[in-house]
Amino acid sequence: MMRITTTAPIPLGTDWLQLLTGRDRGVDSMREVWKEGGIDTVWFSRGAWAFHAVALALQEKLKRPPSIWFPDYFCHQPLQALGGTDARVVFYPVNSALEPDWELCSKLASAEKPDLFVLVHYFGYAADAARARLFVQEAGALLLEDAAHAIGPSAGIGQTGDFVLYSLYKHCALPDGAALQVRDSETVVAGFLNVLSETARGPAPSPVSWLAKRALQSVLPGIGNVRNTPSDLDDDPGTVAPDVTPAMSAMSRRLLGQARDRFDRAAARRRANAAALHDLFGTADGLSPLHPDAVADSVPYRAVFRARNHDTARLWYRRIRESGNVVESWPDLPPEVLGDPATHKAALELRRTMLCLPIHADRTPHQLKAAYGVAL
């Protein structure tokens, strides 16, 4: 019986052919799509290294450690690369709708203004970037749109930030690959690109382990990571250090061009897959889709469900996992957030009540319904 055992996209047969016969046209093809408004693109192995590079560029410009604001509902893992900089990280609160709590942000800014404000487009749905632009203008800061959950630019995503970050390996069958767009503006000077590009050069992570794992999963689809996931919603998967090398691998560059050719089809399949899981769990006791209605031009990253309360979320997490299918809790919150529950109440509650299911384009609505229907 069909089971969904991994959250990662699996390469198709044509991907393996591309590795053998294809040429490295991926980066150029993406630049052609994204070269709007004077934007240049710098490529990294992971988004964590983009944060690292921007922090170094800011520090060089300001001649002091920069203050970088992240939302408190954020994964701890990509912040590990900032440990190699002098940046001061501040976690601003979000509300229950996953929006920045602008009133509290203003109070925080009265004590210490940000140099960089990171706005997250959670699960592929656009946040209010126009409101964020007003805030950073008042604070004299730069704006980075974290679009790691977005497959590419869309309405409300990628048009406003001084920087826009995409994590292509999250959406496509790639061993690594993150793109940082840099907007040509008065505040982002040419020196930024020099620092960013210097950071992105050097050795790339080895794709060998990814290649072996994905090859096995292509032949044996039931091989996955369900048993390696936390057995309980409240358990964190553990923090993994980012790749020790920031450059994007040659294998990802080769595969990226073919992945780009499939973006439109992948977007349509993701919408259909999300709709199928929303329909499947629509009558599940105590669960409701975080985004019940399709949003124009949005491409969901996961099918996300909000539980009635913490106990209900834990129950459904166990039921889905015990059915042999993968289910995620997200994110692995930073220790600073966990240690201050009064300030970060909404983020902690979101973490305790949200469940995420994969909807990558290599699966079909029928397969997802057949697999996850067992949990019902």
242 upstream amide cis, omega within 30 of 0:
no
Give a yes or no: residue 76 inside a domain.
yes
Give yes or no for a contact between 297 and 155, defined as CB atoms under 8 angstroms apart: yes
Q: What is the 3-state secondary structure (H, E, C) of the chain?
A: CCCCCCCCCCCCHHHHHHHHHCCCCHHHHHHHHHCCCCCEEEEECCHHHHHHHHHHHHHHHHCCCCEEEEECCCCCHHHHHHHHCCCEEEEECECCCCCECHHHHHHHHHHCCCCEEEEECHHHCCCCHHHHHHHHHHHCCEEEEECCCCCCCECCECCCCCEEEEEHHHCCCCCCCEEEEECCCCCCCHHHHHHHHHHHCCCCCCCHHHHHHHHHHHHCCCCCCCCCCCCCCCCCCCCCCCCCCCCCCHHHHHHHHHHHHCHHHHHHHHHHHHHHHHHHCCCCCCEEECCCCCCCCCCCCEEEEEECCHHHHHHHHHHHHHCCCCCECCCCCCHHHHCCCCCCHHHHHHHHHEEEEECCCCCCHHHHHHHHHHHC
Give a yes or no: residue 310 inside a domain.
yes
Give the strand pairing for 116-120 and 287-289: unpaired
Give a yes or no: residue 107 inside a domain.
yes
| Residues 139 and 29 placed together within one structural domain of the fold | yes
The per-residue pLDDT for 24 is 56
| Residues 102 and 21 placed together within one structural domain of the fold | yes
| Residues 226 and 354 placed together within one structural domain of the fold | yes
Give a yes or no: residue 147 inside a domain.
yes
Give the strand pairing for 354-358 and 88-92: unpaired
| Residues 25 and 153 placed together within one structural domain of the fold | yes
| Residues 42 and 156 placed together within one structural domain of the fold | yes
133: domain CATH number is 3.40.640.10
| Residues 54 and 28 placed together within one structural domain of the fold | yes
| Residues 168 and 58 placed together within one structural domain of the fold | yes
| Residues 179 and 221 placed together within one structural domain of the fold | no
CA 144 to chain centre: 14
| Residues 179 and 305 placed together within one structural domain of the fold | no
CA 64 to chain centre: 29
| Residues 175 and 269 placed together within one structural domain of the fold | no
Give a yes or no: residue 258 inside a domain.
no
Give a yes or no: residue 5 inside a domain.
no
d(CA 332, CA 61): 32
Region for residue 245 given its phi and psi (left: phi exceeds 0; alpha: psi -120 to 50; beta: otherwise): beta
| Residues 143 and 288 placed together within one structural domain of the fold | no
Number of domains the chain contains: 2
The per-residue pLDDT for 133 is 97
Give a yes or no: residue 102 inside a domain.
yes
In this structure, the number of other CB atoms found within 10 A of the CB of residue 184 comes to 12
Give a yes or no: residue 368 inside a domain.
yes
The per-residue pLDDT for 31 is 60
The per-residue pLDDT for 192 is 77
List the domain range (segments joined by +) for residue 51: 13-200
Q: Along the 376 residues of the chain, how does pLDDT read in single tens digits? A: 678 888 888 877 777 766 666 555 556 656 655 555 557 888 999 999 999 999 999 998 899 999 999 999 999 999 999 988 999 999 999 999 999 999 999 999 999 999 999 999 999 999 999 999 999 999 999 999 999 999 888 889 998 999 999 999 998 888 999 999 888 666 666 677 778 888 888 778 888 888 888 877 777 766 665 666 788 999 876 655 666 789 988 888 888 877 776 788 889 999 999 999 999 998 899 999 998 887 777 899 999 999 999 999 999 999 999 999 999 999 999 999 999 999 999 999 999 999 999 999 889 999 999 999 999 9
315: domain CATH number is 3.90.1150.10
| Residues 146 and 95 placed together within one structural domain of the fold | yes
